[in-house]
Chains A and B, each alone.
Chain A
Amino acid sequence: MGRGQRFGIALSAFVAFAVGVTTALSLLLGDNPALFGNQPGAEQLAELIAAPADALLRLATIVVALSIVIGIANLLYVHAGKLARGKFYSAVLLASFGFTVFWQVTRPGDTSLLEAAQLPIESALAALVALSLLHGGSRVLGKRADIWGLLFVAVVVVVLLASAPLAELAPLQAWRDWLMRVPVGAGARAILLGVALGAVVAGTRALLGQDRSVRG
């Protein structure tokens, strides 16, 4: 590894660390005059501290937006190359893209393509997922004939039947309510805790330079 490359790695790590720490401190301390005792000038100080996070946030949003444009351009470039190699689906994709652009240019504000094409297609895909889940649910014991499989099937059946608004199945609704309130609620909270802890760990590792990009 050459000296220049090492310098580049160190520089990128330093930039990432500096930006991360600045943003974190700016978000934590900024816009909160109470932290400075509500003294005269505290508000201006709080605004001053909040300014870097504000600027970096705007910059990041612009970068994300620009990356979408670059992504679209790259998609077109890649599929143009595939089209040159005779890939039929690339031709469909490029034709659809061109048609959509043409449609919007000639009929500004007309969103009927969304209603006529994208909405039915995505709804149909969602319906296929439902069918797949049904099929999988009916085969659970075929793949896993143990206590966990039985438990899974029992819970699925109770929740489904209790969701049907039938007076005959009303006794199941208490079970369903308990299932949703206790185990499912606990699971949801556990996920939230896990996500929060994961975010803290990932953020800390990035700030400390433990996690770096491929080049960094």
Chain B
Amino acid sequence: MSEEFNWLEYSEEMEAAALEEEGRSGRRGLRRLLPRLPSLRRPALPRMPGIPRPRLPKLRLPSLRRRGGARESHQPSAADILGEQLNRPLEDLDDRLRALRERSVEASQPAPSHQALYAVDDLLAGPALQDRPGGVISAVSLSKAQQQQVEMLRDVVGGAPEAANAGGRSPRFFSGFALSAAPRLLGSAVLLLAVSLPFVSSDYAEGDLPPAEFHEDRHEPTTFYNLLDNLTGDDYVLVAFEYGPAAAGELDILADLLLRHILAQRAKPIIVSSNPIAIVHAQNVIRAINRSLDLAGEQLLHGEDYFLLRYLPGGALGLRELSENFDDVARISAKGLPTGLQFDTLDEMTEIVLIAASADDIRHWVEQVASAAEGRRLLVATSYAAQPLAQAYADSLDQVIGPIVGIRDAYTYGQKLETNFGALLPAEASPQEPEFEQLDADASSDSQAEGRRGPELPAEDAIATALPQPTETAPPTATYFATDRPQPTDTPAPRATDSPTATATATEAPVRVVVVTSGQRVNIRRGPTTVDDILGLGYEGDMFEVIGANGDGSWYEILLPGGVEGWIAEFLVDERLVSAAELAGAQASASAADTQRGERAVLQREYMLRLGKPAPRFYQAQAPASGDRLEVALNRDRAQEIPRLEAMTLGTLAAALAIIFGNVIYAARALLSLRGTRGD
């Protein structure tokens, strides 16, 4: 002990003695106070037999390095600098360091000799200086409580024998049990058994499967689904694959489903990642989808149906580059070839979908990408570990939708996808379409009606008759959706033909309206500022009734279809006076246009949900159609899905029981030792 360095007992006499010693031994700094340790150099290992020693070419160092080397002779080494710092006399310390030292001295006063239950004071005590040999490291030591925490963490990863950590408690009663590796092996065996049994037999299944719909309290996952369900063939979706192989077991099903949903809508996913392995893994997920399409004779083609962009190096830096220079990033594929994509900004993406395993990835995407693409929503799918952070963002930012989390939500999402797309299958379509059947009768022949049930394309003329507006430009498979979704008459938007009174009042008084003049999509907000929530969207030519304006006239208060009030910026619109009939006609046209672009309706529905009002159903009636990609949505390999869920349930229960069992034993042991101590 006498040769160990003790900060608290360090004095000028010791320093003088040490300097004298230094002169004799040539040792400098704190090392002069330490005993000489045996050399740590290991003996050279024998060379591997059969492997000749390679002769490496002698590299010429770059000139910069040589200059640096030359300078080193004039510079003090890092050890010298540290030594000088450590050897400063107390008077040289500034007030802050001196106060810190004094607190450390107080904190290092001996604690009570034995405590069965640690005192809170121990936890709150500052770092104490410990008697410990060593150089720089010894200057920052741990308090007793901190050391206990370190030991606990060390033990968590399977470390020290129990007896060494008994801390004065008698290990007699459980010593044999604790010293062996039995608890670890037993716990592992139980967990492995629990997660393996469901794959062997379904007899061991416990618990319910996740529901087919997201819980009504969680409207954001439903919004997530609806937003993807409203994509059309003209839409591009940026899909961020931010997970590596370690999280593949948890997130692959979700990624597969989201890609299938996007592809089934004939939208084009543009896959990007700041993780190089994730790009390759995304390629494998697409291949798995392609394998499932083999039977249908369809293949997804890179450059036509989907795009894999180049890796974004630099983490957050790479994401910043994505948001600032998306035009450049989108031009190069993962293989370094041109993609043919020509975008100016991220705002041209219809949606941004993020599939991330870690909280940091979510944070980077929100900070670097979502903030730069304010007009785009960020749809987040994530792991259980990153859920809290994703939820915090989703609760705070309207721009962030979700999160959809892990395997259980993936199952619900898959059920929704199968239910909605499965209903479009020809054999199941006929019982659900009485109204359209009747409307079709006049316009289509029997053979066309039959054709709609078969795999052939549906009767376009029949759809045109059924819908309130001409749908010649609608995708030819619209009937598949129209037959199972609510009727267009659910749309709350006023229509000239539905409301005879509108025509009657048309000549009575003009209505003050604004017409969107901006060529780009404009936001309709909850208040007259750009920081207010977005309630809806307006496109060029859209007409809204004016019900007010703000003080300086820079914002109009308008009435949205469905009776929702919102605000639109003045410079984006022209004010006019029109007849009520003209307004009703314009809004009906806009409603029909939403058939191709349903995001406006989804936003409005989302707003209604937040207000607690019943959601209008018109968003479904306006959803675009994509019947000829049914195979993408439905041909999934689900063999492992239910056993995985059951394994998760059994594994969770086994883990909880193991934790309860283990801790009950340790708590009993602590109580016994406490009794023993009091008895002593």
Chain A interface residues (CB < 8 Å from chain B)? 1-2, 5, 53-54, 57-58, 60-61, 64-65, 68, 80-81, 83-88, 91, 109, 111, 114-115, 118-119, 121-123, 125-126, 130-148, 150, 153, 156-157, 160-161, 163-167, 180, 184-185, 187-189, 191-192, 195
Q: Are B313 and A135 in contact (CB under 8 A)?
A: no
The distance in angstroms between the C-alpha atoms of A116 and B98, with both chains bound, is: 59
The distance in angstroms between the C-alpha atoms of A39 and B328, with both chains bound, is: 29
The distance in angstroms between the C-alpha atoms of A188 and B394, with both chains bound, is: 12
**A–B Cβ pairs within 8 angstroms, 18 of them:** A2-B74, A65-B313, A81-B56, A91-B51, A109-B335, A111-B283, A118-B277, A123-B245, A123-B248, A126-B247, A142-B662, A145-B670, A146-B117, A157-B660, A180-B391, A184-B388, A188-B388, A192-B392
Contacts A146-B117, A187-B388 hold; do A114 and B324 have CB atoms under 8 A apart? no
Q: Are B187 and A135 in contact (CB under 8 A)?
A: yes
Q: Nearest 7 CB-CB pairs, A to B?
A: A138-B662, A136-B156, A142-B666, A145-B670, A64-B314, A160-B656, A141-B666
Q: Which of B187, B191, B244, B665 contacts A122 (CB 8 A)?
A: B244
Interface hit among B26-34, B41-49, B612-620: B41-49
Contacts A60-B317, A134-B658, A192-B389 hold; do A164 and B649 have CB atoms under 8 A apart? yes
Smallest beta-carbon distance B93→chain A, Å? 20
Q: Which of B51, B123, B389, B649 contacts A165 (CB 8 A)?
A: B649
Say whether B148 faces chain A, with CB atoms less than 8 Å apart.
yes
Smallest CB gap from A2: residue in B: B74
Interface hit among B205-213, B263-271, B455-463, B621-629: B205-213
* Per-position binary interface string of chain B over residues 635-663, scored 1 when its CB falls under 8 Å from any chain A CB and 0 otherwise: 00000000000000100110110111111
Q: Are B209 and A165 in contact (CB under 8 A)?
A: yes
The distance in angstroms between the C-alpha atoms of A64 and B118, with both chains bound, is: 48
> What 5 additional pairs, Cβ within 8 angstroms, besides A57-B325, A166-B206?
A138-B662, A141-B667, A144-B152, A164-B652, A184-B388
The distance in angstroms between the C-alpha atoms of A126 and B183, with both chains bound, is: 20
The distance in angstroms between the C-alpha atoms of A119 and B278, with both chains bound, is: 11
* Per-position binary interface string of chain B over residues 551-568, scored 1 when its CB falls under 8 Å from any chain A CB and 0 otherwise: 000000000000000000
Interface size on B, residues (CB 8 A): 84
Q: Which residues of A contact B14 (CB under 8 A)?
A: none
Q: Which of B151, B284, B389 contacts A188 (CB 8 A)?
A: B389
Q: Which of B45, B391, B652 contacts A185 (CB 8 A)?
A: B391
Secondary structure class of chain A's binding surface, majority of residues: helix
The distance in angstroms between the C-alpha atoms of A35 and B513, with both chains bound, is: 30
Q: Which residues of A contact B320 (CB under 8 A)?
A: 57
Q: Which of B148, B151, B395, B663 contacts A138 (CB 8 A)?
A: B663
Contacts A138-B658, A188-B389 hold; do A148 and B123 have CB atoms under 8 A apart? yes
Q: Are B363 and A144 in contact (CB under 8 A)?
A: no
Q: Are A5 and B280 in contact (CB under 8 A)?
A: no
The distance in angstroms between the C-alpha atoms of A122 and B243, with both chains bound, is: 12
The distance in angstroms between the C-alpha atoms of A164 and B312, with both chains bound, is: 38
Q: Which residues of B contact A2 (CB under 8 A)?
A: 74
Q: Are A143 and B277 in contact (CB under 8 A)?
A: no
Q: Which of B209, B245, B283, B314 contacts A119 (CB 8 A)?
A: B245
The distance in angstroms between the C-alpha atoms of A108 and B89, with both chains bound, is: 66
Interface centre among A123, A136, A139 (most CB of B within 10 A): A139
Q: Which residues of B contact A85 (CB under 8 A)?
A: 44-45, 47
Q: Which residues of B contact A115 (CB under 8 A)?
A: 284
Smallest beta-carbon distance B524→chain A, Å? 19
